[in-house]
Amino acid sequence: MTTWPESQGTSTSLETVDMTINVGPQHPATHGVFRMVLTVDGELVKDCEPYIGYLHRGLEKLTENADYRQAMGWWDRTDYLAGMCCEGAYVMAVEKLAGIEVPERAEYIRVLMMELSRINSHFMFLGAFGADVGSFGTSFTYGWRERERIYDLFEEVAGDRMFPTYFKVGGVTMDLPENFETRCRDILSSIRQGLEDFDGLLTGNEVFVERCRDLNPVTPEQAIAWGFTGPMLRATGLGWDIRKAEPYSIYERLNFDIPTGKQGDVFDRYWVRLSEMYQSARIVEQCLDEMPSGRVLNPDLPKTLRIDEGELYLPTEGTKGEYGVYLMAQGGTNAYRAKLRSPSFSNLSALRELVVGNYVADAIVILGSLDIVLGEVDK
């Protein structure tokens, strides 16, 4: 409770009570079914309690009751903005557990598809984040222009827009079509044009920069203690990317930089994601230039995949942070235990510490800058 000060010219003092606001599971920001209860004093947030679990669909239990290869259909719906990144992580974990080799052309195709999915997901972030900060429809339409082009490319290659289950244990399902290279280079040039448009729309906008700069700075020690990975950690200044630190697939042969921020505030998080998209476009171009010819599927795949005793934890660089897959096999065709280490879960667990002490409007901007996707958080 606060009292209105006497110097403001009233003879009685005004007592106020903290208000509880429920930002419920349905709200216009498109982050999904997430609920938080804010306790506010005027406009200042005193306490924030996140509630998750409204999309808990049982990925881990269902994976225990299905074949290794059938389970991919659930795994790519976890991060539903970048389906192929999740497919890649799961399929690499199964191959490592079973000891199956993948031909080189398939590795290049996989990395190409994963980086295009990363660009796809970050365009959605730019669109939704712009909407949170204030440019409601404009940034959305800018982002979706490029997303539709990438979706068209996915449809030509793999058959479906969002969840093609294109990756297979031992390679990819089918080879690329003949005009793929020209189509991909066209799309890359339009992606670069789209990024410049976003740069002009958001970074060049004084209101956006004023709202986001110096809002909610985070030090690297705090970020590590809270379990941040991915662009949230790189915005604080620590340049850690699993593609460089614990490389998987063919990332060791590719040249790309890791953009970092300075003080971990909301503007740095946005800036790191925008710069990452340029680097992903570089990776896609290198994959196109260096793509070897050959087969795309391992020819000695067994008819039923049985894996004896073994376990592993494979960390990969998902679009939002460290997307890790833990698998334990104990004979048979099903996994004994499968767990998803989702980056949004760890990033979101620090929401109370991030939001308390800011205004309500800034709380929404901070939640948008975390870039969560509820399919991952609730598994």
Length of the chain: 379
Q: How far is the CB of 286 from another protein (least distance, A)?
A: 16
Taking CB under 8 A as the criterion, the residue among 23, 48, 74, 153 binding another protein is: 74
Taking CB under 8 A as the criterion, the residue among 147, 168, 211, 320 binding another protein is: 147
Q: How far is the CB of 260 from another protein (least distance, A)?
A: 13
- The interface with another protein within residues 198-237 (CB under 8 A) comprises 224-227, 229
Is residue 134 involved in binding another protein (CB under 8 A)? Answer: no
Residues 296, 318: contact at Cβ < 8 Å? no
Residues 244, 251: contact at Cβ < 8 Å? yes
Kind plus residue range of the DSSP H or E element containing 223: helix 220-226
Taking the C-alpha atoms of residue 6 and residue 12, their distance in angstroms, rounded to an integer, is 8
**Apex 189 CA angle, 321 and 280, nearest 5:** 20
Q: How far is the CB of 228 from another protein (least distance, A)?
A: 8
Q: How many residues bind another protein (CB under 8 A)?
A: 81
Give whichever of 74 and 267 is closer to another protein, judged by the CB atom: 74
Is residue 246 involved in binding another protein (CB under 8 A)? Answer: yes
Residue by residue, DSSP assigns 244-306 as HHS--TTGGG--------SS--HHHHHHHHHHHHHHHHHHHHHHHHHPPPS-SB-TT--SS--
Is residue 361 involved in binding another protein (CB under 8 A)? Answer: no
DSSP 214: T
Helices 136-158 and 104-133: crossing angle in degrees, nearest 10, is 160
Q: How far is the CB of 153 from another protein (least distance, A)?
A: 14
Residues 366, 28: contact at Cβ < 8 Å? no
**In this chain, which stretch among 10-18, 90-98, 267-275, 277-285 interacts with another protein, using CB under 8 A?**
90-98
Give whichever of 107 and 265 is closer to another protein, judged by the CB atom: 107
- The interface with another protein within residues 279-318 (CB under 8 A) comprises 310-315
Give whichever of 210 and 306 is closer to another protein, judged by the CB atom: 306
Is residue 379 involved in binding another protein (CB under 8 A)? Answer: yes
Here the tokens at position 315 are: 């960390």
**In this chain, which stretch among 38-46, 193-201, 202-210, 346-354 interacts with another protein, using CB under 8 A?**
346-354
- The interface with another protein within residues 324-343 (CB under 8 A) comprises 324, 326, 328, 336-337, 339, 341
- Hey, is 337 helix, strand or coil? strand
- The interface with another protein within residues 19-58 (CB under 8 A) comprises 24-28, 30, 32-33, 52-58
